[in-house]
Amino acid sequence: MPLLHQVLLDLISSSKNLPESFTIADFGCSSRPHPLLTVTEITSFIYKRCHELGRSLPEFWVYLNEFPGYDFNTVFKSLPDYHAKLKEENGPDFRPLLYISAVPGPCHERLFPSKSLHFVHSSSTLNWLSQVPPELTDKENPLINKGKIFISKTSPPAVIKAYQTQFQSDFSSFLESRSKEVVPGGRMVLTFRGRTTPDPSSDETCLLWDYLGQAFQDLIEKILTTYHTTSHIEEIKAEIEKQGSFMLDHLVINSIPTAQMISNATRADHETTIRSHFGSETVDRLFQRFSEVIAANTKEVELIGLLVSVTRK
């Protein structure tokens, strides 16, 4: 059973009835092929389980989050067709009360009223840093990461430390903000682009970005300086334990093995940002070349995903 389903099942089973109004926040909704993909999975699963258990179905209040500047109009225009498709897939008796709204803003800050969220989902958005590490932009004494816009084998230790420190600060801010917004017993499922080794400059971490840089170095120089390429399991656990408001329930490691699958997954994470800078035509050419570069190289890339679920204490 996928971790998301397992967490939802635990949530349903832990109480006789779900709240009459069940609130869901999806952070970084544009990182999926369709912004409503995860919402569909969550609400459909809850609907089916409640139906099987003879439970009353809650009203769903869904908040889609992205950084300011993301165009939510396309999402809103698709809602009539979206509701029709839900009924088609789940049968004519499918009658969930589903209210969808947009909440733009950086995920590292407070965005919702206190104790207002029952379920939080985030897919890869926590790899994006709130800012370029200050040490990399200090005009008087800048850290040099020559020829790279990510952590690599040639990155000085100070550069690696700067990225790690910024990630730790941002993730801590995210946890602190959500600790005030999530109700006691509420759940969060978070996905990170991660690594299994403590070494942030290992092939597991850097090889993917070396290949993407080879595919289009000039293009990504403007994009990835605020992206913390991967997180280690212990980094995530340490920040959760240090913040103290959440209990770690599950930590699952997934890997993506093939060149085309890796290219597609990377595109899902970064397509919106790249398209906003360079246009759709460039995106298509970049990721076509990216998959070719991966396939042509003898070193295999393994894309690691870390899935974390926590409960508000």
Determine the pLDDT at residue 222: 46
The Cα 154–Cα 296 span in angstroms is: 23
Burial of 208 per CB tally in 10 Å (0-12, 13-18, 19+) = buried
The residues spanned by each domain of the chain are 3-143+157-198+226-256+303-312
Provide φ and ψ at 62, rounded to 5°.
-110, 130
* Low-confidence spans in the chain with pLDDT less than 70: 31-33, 92-96, 142-143, 146-150, 201, 203-209, 211-230, 256-282, 289-290, 292-303
The domain 3-143+157-198+226-256+303-312 is placed in CATH, from the list 3.40.50.150, 3.40.50.1980, 2.40.110.10, 3.20.20.80, at 3.40.50.150
Q: pLDDT, tens digit, for every residue of 28-75?
A: 887 665 788 899 899 989 988 988 988 888 999 999 998 887 888 888
Q: pLDDT, tens digit, for every residue of 240-280?
A: 999 999 999 999 888 765 555 555 556 566 666 566 556 66
| DSSP code of residue 68 | T
Return the ∠ at Cα 78 (arms to 75 and 83), rounded to 5°.
115
